[in-house]
Amino acid sequence: MKSFQVDQNGYYGEFGGAYIPEVLYQNVEDLKKNYLQIIESESFKKEFALLLRDYVGRPSPLYYAKRLSNKYGCKIYLKREDLNHTGAHKINNAIGQVLIAKAMGKTKIIAETGAGQHGVATATVAALMNMECIVFMGKTDIERQHMNVQRMEMLGTEVRPVTSGNMTLKDATNEAIRYWCCHPEDTYYVIGSTVGPHPYPDMVARLQSVISKEIKEQLKEKEGRDYPDYLMACVGGGSNAAGTIYHYIDDTRVKIVLAEAGGKGIDTPYTAATIQCGRLGIIHGAKTLVMQTEDGQIIEPYSISAGLDYPGIGPIHANLAEQHRATILAVNDDEAMDAAFELTRLEGIIPAIESAHALGALSKVKFNPEDVVVLTVSGRGDKDMDTFINYMENKKNK
Ligand SMILES: *Cc1c(COP(=O)(O)O)cnc(C)c1O
């Protein structure tokens, strides 16, 4: 049987691989040679599990959302990644990768960040593990996300402003790669999602796979069977989704529904729905679907959610979409915002706007009353309060 997991050459179907400049070859090759052995070693497993439990607060609860279930006519469980330390799933990956960096003898870590969430997660783990840390961030994003910049600085991380291009995530990523090229000996590059050259997408998926491992155990206890009928998650680069589906990816009893950011609509230029609007290309070292013009220039994506506006998509998800293993739905800004308010009023949970895209997909699926649905709430909405308040004000004034 064919698998939807990565193959020996680092591909998911036709997507993935490592398209990198010569100067990075050794770094990526070292990582490729070592990551599986480290992840599967007893010492890594023990330390990772202990930190996930005592520092992050795992297992994250699987919460039966009764009022939300009534609304959509099925049984909805929420996987509560919003309750993790630092407020989202990103900390799982950051801890795992910094442990890998240490095992490889690196003393410095670097990361890229857009909205600042991955930067904060990495800065947090850098403080915890006493590693020097530089986070590259576009100047535009620094101005938009001041609180996260201050958090990183308080944690002892240097935030390095990037002034090339549009001064956003894509430019920060390029700058981080450039820095890594010049400091291969002592530096490890922590990528924040299932993107980048092989082995990053597979490594990040494995580090986030604790999410579906827990779902299995929790469903067994609550439903008497360890699989749901539906798994739902939002996709930016695809890491919370990859973690949610990891242990079910080849189990076709389980339907997979992924929500990407439609922005103002996939028929407008203001969208981040890469799977539906992108074409095959290469971005940040991987062959995948990319938002690009006719002649291959990357199009700056748009979404109300800062965590979903990446112009590429994890190769794992590009393949799931192409093979029709997953259903991909575009959820627009206003649909996501309404879904966030709905969850808040029905269950008393304020989700991150990213996560609200997964919730916004609920009304687009036809469920049966006995269907068991697990939807991952990737993060909490504290960071998005300004956007929520502005949205409410604008609605009132209309
Ligand atoms: C960063 C982020 C995302 C998007 O990243 P993925 O790699 O697609 O999971 C989703 N939700 C939250 C809360 C985030 O911070």
pLDDT digits over 85-108, tens only?
Answer: 999 999 999 999 999 999 999 999
C-alpha 234 to ligand 1 mean position (Å): 8
pLDDT at position 1 is: 66
Q: 378 an active-site residue?
A: yes
C-alpha 292 to ligand 1 mean position (Å): 22
- The structural domains of the chain, with segments of one domain joined by +, span 19-51+90-203, 57-87+210-397
Lowest mean pLDDT among 13-27, 57-71, 74-88: 13-27
Lowest mean pLDDT among 41-50, 347-356, 384-393: 384-393
Distance CA 348, CA 129 (A): 35
C-alpha 236 to ligand 1 mean position (Å): 6
pLDDT at position 310 is: 85
Distance CA 244, CA 59 (A): 13
Q: What confidence tier does 396 reach under pLDDT thresholds 50, 70, 90?
A: confident
Q: Residue 309's closest CA among 278, 282, 358, 272?
A: 272
pLDDT at position 74 is: 98
Distance CA 326, CA 258 (A): 7
Mean pLDDT of all residues in 121-130: 98
* Terminal Cα-to-Cα distance of the chain (whole angstroms): 55
Question: Which atom of ligand 1 approaches the CA of 204 most closely?
Answer: 7
pLDDT digits over 140-161, tens only?
Answer: 889 888 999 999 999 999 999 9
* The model's pTM: 0.97
Say which CATH class 19-51+90-203 falls into: alpha beta
Q: Does the pLDDT at position 6 exceed 70?
A: yes
Dihedral sign, CA of 280, 15, 327, 341?
A: negative
Q: In a 10 Å sphere around its CB, with 0-12 CB exposed, 13-18 middle and 19+ buried, how is residue 338 labelled?
A: middle
pLDDT digits over 307-329, tens only?
Answer: 888 889 999 999 999 999 999 99
Q: Does the pLDDT at position 12 exceed 90?
A: yes
Question: Bridge partners of 291?
Answer: none
Q: By the 8 A CB rule, do 247 and 205 touch?
A: no
pLDDT digits over 240-255, tens only?
Answer: 999 999 999 999 999 9
Q: Does the pLDDT at position 190 exceed 90?
A: yes
- Mutating to test ligand 1, I would choose from 83, 118, 124, 193 the residue with most ligand atoms within 8 A of its C-beta, which is 193
Q: What is the residue whose two structure tokens read 């930067």?
A: 119
C-alpha 354 to ligand 1 mean position (Å): 6
User: Do 19-51+90-203 and 57-87+210-397 come out as alike in CATH topology?
Assistant: yes
Q: 90 an active-site residue?
A: yes
pLDDT at position 300 is: 87
Distance CA 207, CA 204 (A): 5
Which residues does 23 contact at the CB level (< 8 Å), separation at least 6?
A: 181, 184
Sheet holding 132-138, edge to edge: 158-162, 132-138, 108-113, 187-190
CATH code, residues 57-87+210-397? 3.40.50.1100
Lowest mean pLDDT among 38-47, 62-71, 298-307: 298-307
pLDDT at position 275 is: 96
State how beta strands 286-290 and 279-283 pair: antiparallel
pLDDT at position 398 is: 75
Question: Which atom of ligand 1 approaches the CA of 192 most closely?
Answer: 7
**What mean pLDDT value characterizes the chain?**
96
Using DSSP, state whether 89 is helix, strand or coil.
coil
DSSP character at residue 60: P
pLDDT digits over 335-350, tens only?
Answer: 999 999 999 999 999 9
Options 79, 90, 106, 383, the catalytic residue = 90
